[in-house]
Amino acid sequence: MINFNIAQWRAWAPGLESVDDWQAWSRQPVVPPVSDAAPDVSFLPAMQRRRLSRLARMAFSVAWPLAEGRPDLPLVFISRHGETPRTFEILKDLAADQPLSPTQFSLSVHNAVIGLWSIMRGETSEMTALAATGDGLEHGMLEAAALLNEGTPAVLLVITEEQPPSVYAPWVDDVPFPYAVGLLLTRGDDWQLQLSSPTKPLPGSDWPHALDLLRTLLGNQLTCQHAWKNRLWTWQRNR
């Protein structure tokens, strides 16, 4: 079991940007219309913005405000599928015997987002990029808790998923729409997360774990549970 506080949060998805937007969604969650919209990252210079995919823009849009005024803030970045659209374009070029772009390749790797974050913010604190399964959020929380236990005052956790290309639809069905959630975590006992092993398989969540947790935060619920394979994660709000 781990204990922590969620000091602040931010989230973004197409058509869901403000707290009021997410509050309405949490009361009646639906898949928003398909959109090519991307978050506003005008706080970055134009030259830097051009390098960012929508996945990276989503991550920056929720993380940057949470990191303001907090130098040396460790970052835990989580994405199960990562830069799948960018990787797919590279694979298409390979199949067509086209030359590959070194820049596109370097930006397609899983830790590209935290590399760009480090460069653009001049940040040299510890950063981790995780590619876990359906309970990547919880694995990221374990990583963040370890940093807090080592004495770090706060940790920034960001989880984001992009809509994979349609060709992946038979295999990837856990991204109902593009989204990003950022959590500023601090030491404390407001929340606890506990892992258990149920004796029989449990149904999974209707929504990705990060969005389900967001509904819990907005609804002032005391608990929520996330099941994945033989793991059951219980989130408990203590105040």
CATH (domain of 151): 3.40.47.10
Q: Per-residue pLDDT averaged across 234-238, rounded? A: 94
Distance CA 168, CA 41 (A): 28
Q: Is residue 23's pLDDT more than 90?
A: yes
> Helix, strand, or coil here: 122?
coil
User: What mean pLDDT, rounded, does the chain reach?
Assistant: 93
pLDDT at 132: 85
Instruction: Look up the domain containing 140 and give its range.
Output: 2-237
Unique residue bearing structure tokens 């602040």: 8
What total number of domains does the chain contain?
1
Supply φ then ψ for residue 43, to 5 degrees: -70, -10
| Tens of pLDDT, residues 42-86 | 999 888 888 899 999 999 999 999 999 998 999 999 999 999 999
The β-bridge relationship of strands 179-196 and 154-161 is antiparallel
Q: 45-80 burial, b if ≥16 CB within 10 A, otherwise e?
A: eeeebeebbbbbbbbbbbbbebbeeeeebbbbbbbb
CA distance 140 to 142: 5
State the first-to-last Cα distance of the chain, in angstroms, to the nearest integer. Answer: 17
Query: Quick one: pLDDT at residue 72?
Result: 92
Token pair 């006992």 is at which residue? 189
Q: Is the per-residue pLDDT at 136 higher than 80?
A: yes
Q: What is the pLDDT of residue 196?
A: 93
Q: What is the pLDDT of residue 24?
A: 96
**pLDDT higher than 90, residue 104:** no
Return the pLDDT at 18: 95
pLDDT digits (tens, 9 = 90+) for 172-213: 889 999 999 999 999 999 999 999 988 777 777 789 999 999
